[in-house]
Amino acid sequence: MASAHTATVDRYLEAIYCIAAEGEVVRPGRLAYWLSVSPPTVSNALQRLRRDGWVELETDRSVSLTPSGESTATALVRRHRILERWLTDVLGLDWASADVEAERLASSISEEVIERIDHSMGSPATCPHGNVIPGRVAPYGALVALADLGAGTAAVVRRISEVAEHEAPTLLTTLAAHAIGEGTPLTPVGAGEDGSLTLRVADRTFDLDRAAAASVWVEVV
């Protein structure tokens, strides 16, 4: 049985959940980068999390959530994504600001209020970045990374990587500046001189760094 969780425990559990959800193996160094703390700090924290029943540490240094850790992390991510959706769709905040504010609000709003907010929006399936709210079904089919999309292939933006959302907030700002969001149709039309991806959105084109494009997931139409 896991012990009561604190704000620090919540940060670690949510980070482990999100990194694993992107198909990555979670390791201490990855967590140190994600949480902006030193490797020794992560190592000490993981030992406490294992002691308290939140995580399992494997011999290859990979980290996974126990059933208690998974349940708590799932609830945390659900709250965060519902709040993000509310902050953008109802209050009109931009992507990046909504992420920051949701982080601040998630621990201070009661579950009853979360449920009412969720119900008032019709129980959306995803956060504003297209990441599925735990317990719900993705409203899209198979996705491909924008960076891997062939020139001339029309697609619709469906999801922004949770990892990129957290580690590269400037990506959200860049996409917003070009009016690209969940549901935006676009088409790659070539490559820039620096190897970037040239995209057509509506009646205009612009270049997007391929590393950034690898974090944008689209559905071919």
**Where do we find the tokens 């999801």?**
159
Position 95 confidence tier, pLDDT thresholds 50, 70, 90: confident
In this chain, the answer to whether the domains covering 79-138 and 144-220 adopt an identical fold is: no
Domain 79-138 has CATH 3.40.50.11540: no
98-120 pLDDT per residue, tens:
888 998 898 889 999 999 999 99
Architecture of the domain delimited by 144-220: Roll (2.30)
State the pLDDT at residue 136: 96
Among residues 21, 23, 162, 158, which one has the least CA distance to residue 80?
A: 162
| Full 3-state SS string of the chain | CCCCCCHHHHHHHHHHHHHHHCCCCCCHHHHHHHHCCCHHHHHHHHHHHHHCCCEEECCCCCEEECHHHHHHHHHHHHHHHHHHHHHHHCCCCCHHHHHHHHHHHCCCCCHHHHHHHHHHCCCCCECCCCCECCCCCCCCCCCEEHHHCCCCCCEEEEEECHHHHHHCHHHHHHHHHCCCCCCCEEEEEEECCCCCEEEEECCEEEEECHHHHCCEEEEEC
Query: What does the domain layout of the chain look like in residue ranges?
Result: 7-65, 79-138, 144-220
Q: Tell me how far the alpha carbon of residue 147 is from its chain's centroid.
A: 18
Of 55-59, 163-167, 184-188, minimum mean pLDDT range? 163-167
Question: Cα 124–130–134 angle (5° rounding)?
Answer: 55
CATH number of 7-65: 1.10.10.10
116-154 pLDDT per residue, tens:
999 999 999 999 989 999 999 999 999 999 999 999 999
201-221 pLDDT per residue, tens:
988 998 998 888 988 999 999
